[in-house]
Structure 1
Amino acid sequence: MKKRLMAGLVAGSLWLTGCASTAPMTVSLPLQQAWFNDQIVHYVTTDVSDQDMAKAMGANYAPRLRDAIPNYPKPPRQKTVIERVYGFPNGEQRNIFPSAPTPVGFESTDAAYSPIWLIYQVQWVNPNQAVELTSEGALLDAEAKGLVNIERTNIVVNCPIVPAP
């Protein structure tokens, strides 16, 4: 007899339950915040292709995630199974996601969203001019004005966006 697993999120915790059990099992995952189109979104990090980063984030080390990296050059707005996520390695601000499920959950109508992200690191040219950027558009405008440098890494992360607690 096959068991089916059901998964869901309850107050920021992932739960899995088999058909034979009525009591859900829970695990705790750190809930993170990022920007998407001037709005805060919540996400969890489950897998990272870089071992040191996986250890630091308490996530699975999953080197095969790098297999999702497309051939380059790839324009910023061209959608593939892997999406950009913009990170600020000096901690100036939250990450920026260019897509999100709309709405979050099974009724999402956003065909561009993927929870698989390729990290792009953002550095301010002059850290004294740093301001909070809250969308991919604002970030790309700042890059066009020479205010930030954006560098692609080869680090892929699985970070599903989840409902706000």
Structure 2
Amino acid sequence: MPALATRHALGALLMLGATAGWTADEVSLPLKEAWFEGQIVHYVSTDISDPGIAKKQGINYVPALADTLKQGMPVERAYKFPGDEQATVLPSIPRPVGGSNADPTYSPLWVLVMVRWKPGVTPRTLTSEEAVLAAEDKGEVELTRTKIVANWPVVRARGAALQGVH
């Protein structure tokens, strides 16, 4: 269902463009970088349940996304650094990206976990969920789970990409 919702959201953007007088039949969205198991992957950020982040990033504010936490829908953690000192760390991706995804647990919906370096610790780039959790175990970072849910579909990873992603 979440992937279907993402397709509907992109389709709605295309239809909105048609009604607004746009002539293009494609939409360009900026790719954002994230870390997954030591490799950079790319996602698009379309919707979030936090109004401040929505305004800052120029994406849709969708308060209803937070309801997914109450409804028990599949939502993974995304480790976000609030100062944007590094790319977000994702614990899962579609394997592979596209129609052949064999990971039934992957969802483009993420609950944000804020990662803050503790005073006196020299920050370094954390490139996997394991690295984030190890830094927490060593007392180097503080993890704060929020109730903010984001719709961030992974569109390019490990040499594969969705059609139209360049």
Bin for the TM-score computed over the shorter chain:
0.7 to 0.9
Q: Which has the higher strand share?
A: 1
Inter-partner Cα distance in structure 2 for 1:56 and 1:142: 28
Q: Does 1:63 align with 2:63?
A: yes
Match of 2:140 in 1: 147
User: What's the TM-score once normalised by structure 1's chain length?
Assistant: 0.77
Deviation larger for 120-129 or 140-149 = 120-129
Match of 2:20 in 1: none
Inter-partner Cα distance in structure 1 for 2:124 and 2:150: 26
Match of 2:104 in 1: 111
User: Are the equivalent residues in 1 in contact too, given 2:45–2:153 (CA < 8 A)?
Assistant: yes
User: What's the TM-score once normalised by structure 2's chain length?
Assistant: 0.77
- Deviations along 1:17-68, one digit per CA (max 9) or x if unpaired, are 9xxxxx9711121110000111110000111111121111111111000011
User: Are the equivalent residues in 1 in contact too, given 2:65–2:150 (CA < 8 A)?
Assistant: yes
The gaps in structure 1 that reach 5 residues or longer are 1-6, 8-14, 18-22, 72-78
The higher radius of gyration belongs to: 1
Inter-partner Cα distance in structure 2 for 1:127 and 1:31: 33
- Deviations along 1:85-136, one digit per CA (max 9) or x if unpaired, are 0000122211000000011111011122110000000000136511111000
Give runs of aligned pairs for residues 82-161 of structure 1, distance below 5 A: 82-126=75-119, 128-161=121-154
Match of 1:37 in 2: 37
What one-letter code is carried by the residue in structure 2 that aligns with 1:140?
L
Match of 1:28 in 2: 28
**CA 29–53 in structure 1, closer or farther in 2 if over 3 Å, else same:** same
What one-letter code is carried by the residue in structure 2 that aligns with 1:54?
A
Identity %: 47
Inter-partner Cα distance in structure 2 for 1:81 and 1:102: 17
What one-letter code is carried by the residue in structure 1 that aligns with 2:35?
W
**Which secondary structure does the structure 2 equivalent of 1:42 belong to?**
strand
Number of equivalenced pairs: 140
Inter-partner Cα distance in structure 2 for 1:85 and 1:152: 9
Inter-partner Cα distance in structure 2 for 1:86 and 1:154: 13
User: Are the equivalent residues in 1 in contact too, given 2:115–2:141 (CA < 8 A)?
Assistant: yes
What one-letter code is carried by the residue in structure 1 that aligns with 2:32?
Q
What is the root-mean-square deviation in Å for CA atoms of aligned residues?
Answer: 2.2
User: Are the equivalent residues in 1 in contact too, given 2:117–2:141 (CA < 8 A)?
Assistant: yes
